[in-house]
Amino acid sequence: MAGNFSTFESARLSRAPAADLRGRDLISIADFTAAELRTILHRAHSLKAERTAGVPHRLLEGKTLAMIFEKPSLRTRCTFETGMTQFGGHAIDLAQNHMQMGTRESVPDVARNLDRWVDVIMARVFAHQTVVDLAAYARVPVINGLSDHSHPCQILADLQTIEEHRGRLTTLKVAYVGDGNNVTTSLIYAAGILGMDLHVGAPAGYQPTADVLDRARAQATGSDGEIVVHADPVAAVDGADVIYTDAWVSMGQEAESAERMRVFPPFQVNGALLAHAQPDAIVMHCLPAHRGLEITDEVMDGPQSVVFDQAENRLHAQKAILALLLGV
C-alpha cells in the first residue's frame, strides 16, 4: 500500500480538531468546513494505517449500507462494499434495473422505504437533484457516490493521496487539465475551503461554471486559497506540483464525443506537458482512463503517476466517511 501515516502525521490536516459529523449527509464538498474535511482525512489516514498494520476495526457490526447505482461502477462499488465488509457490516447493491428509481417508484418513496431498513445510503446517479432528493426524504445519512455536479468521495481520496505523497495540501500548485466536470467542481470547492492553490486548464466552453467559481472563491477569501482558470494547458501546469486529469467524455455525454475529440487533444497529459511541471510533480487521474486520449501510457505508467494510489484510497476515504457519518 502506498503512503505511510508517519510521514504526514504532523501535516496541518492531520492536526485538525475532530468535528462531529454524526448523522450528516455528504452531498457536496462545499457543504463542509475546513475542520470537517480535515477530520475526514485524518480518519482516512488512521484507518489506512490500521489496515496496513493488520489491526481489525469492525466498527459497523450489524450496520447496512444501501448502494444505489444508476451508472456502472468498478471503484465505487468495490470500495464501498469492501469497506463495509472490513467494518463488519453489510452492503446491498441496488442496480437501477432492479429499482427503476424515478419510473417504477419515485425518489422520495425510495428514500422513505430505505431509511426503514438500512443505516446509510450511497447513490451513484446521473442528476445531482436525485441525491439531493434522497437526502431530503431519508432520515439516515446519504452519500453522493457521484452525480453530474460533483464527486466528493473521489476528491477526499485525492486529497488523502496528495498528503501521502507531498506531505501537505497547501503551498503546492495543483493543476487540473481537461474538462470542467463534476470532479473539477469538487476539487475547486476543496481548494477554496482548504486554502489550496488550484489552476484549472480547460478549453473555452468546457470551463467550470461561474456559480461554482464564485462560491469557491468566496470560501477561499478566508483560507488564502487561489483558484485560477486558464484556456492554455501549459499555463495551468507551469511549475505545478500536482497534475490531475480526467476523461474528456463522461457517461451521459456520448452524443458530444466527436466535438470533444476535436477540442481536447491540446489538453492531453503527455511527456511534453509534464515537462512544464516541477521535476517531482505527481500525476493523478480518477479513472477509468482512456489511454492515448486524456493521458498517455508513458505518463500513466510512469514513475510520477499515483493513479492507483488514488484508486486504493477510495477505500480508506470512504470508510472514514461511513464511520464518521454513523458516529463511530
Q: Is the pLDDT of residue 73 over 80?
A: yes
Q: What pLDDT, on a 0 to 100 scale, did the predictor assign at position 13?
A: 42
Q: What pLDDT, on a 0 to 100 scale, did the predictor assign at position 17?
A: 52
Beta strands 64-69 and 282-285, pairing class: unpaired
| CATH class of the domain at 154-310 | alpha beta
Q: Is the pLDDT of residue 87 over 50?
A: yes
pLDDT in tens, 27-60: 999 999 999 999 999 999 999 999 999 999 999 9
The Cα–Cα gap between 317 and 320 comes to 5
C-alpha cell at 277: 511541471
Which residue(s) pair with 304 in the sheet? none
Q: Is the pLDDT of residue 1 over 60?
A: no
Q: What pLDDT, on a 0 to 100 scale, did the predictor assign at position 9?
A: 46
Same fold, 5-151+314-325 and 154-310: yes
Q: Where are the domains of the chain?
A: 5-151+314-325, 154-310
Q: Is the pLDDT of residue 14 over 60?
A: no
The Cα–Cα gap between 77 and 69 comes to 9
State percent of the chain over pLDDT 70: 95
Strands of the 226-230 sheet, one edge to the other: 226-230, 197-201, 173-177, 242-245, 282-285
Q: Determine the average pLDDT of the residues in 213-220.
A: 97
How many other CB atoms are there within 10 angstroms of residue 292's CB atom?
11
The whole model's pTM is what? 0.94
Q: Kindly list the catalytic residues.
A: 124, 151, 154, 246, 286, 314
User: 256 in helix, strand or coil?
Assistant: helix
CATH superfamily of 5-151+314-325: Aspartate/ornithine carbamoyltransferase (3.40.50.1370)
Q: Determine the average pLDDT of the residues in 172-190.
A: 98
Write down the mean pLDDT value for the chain: 94
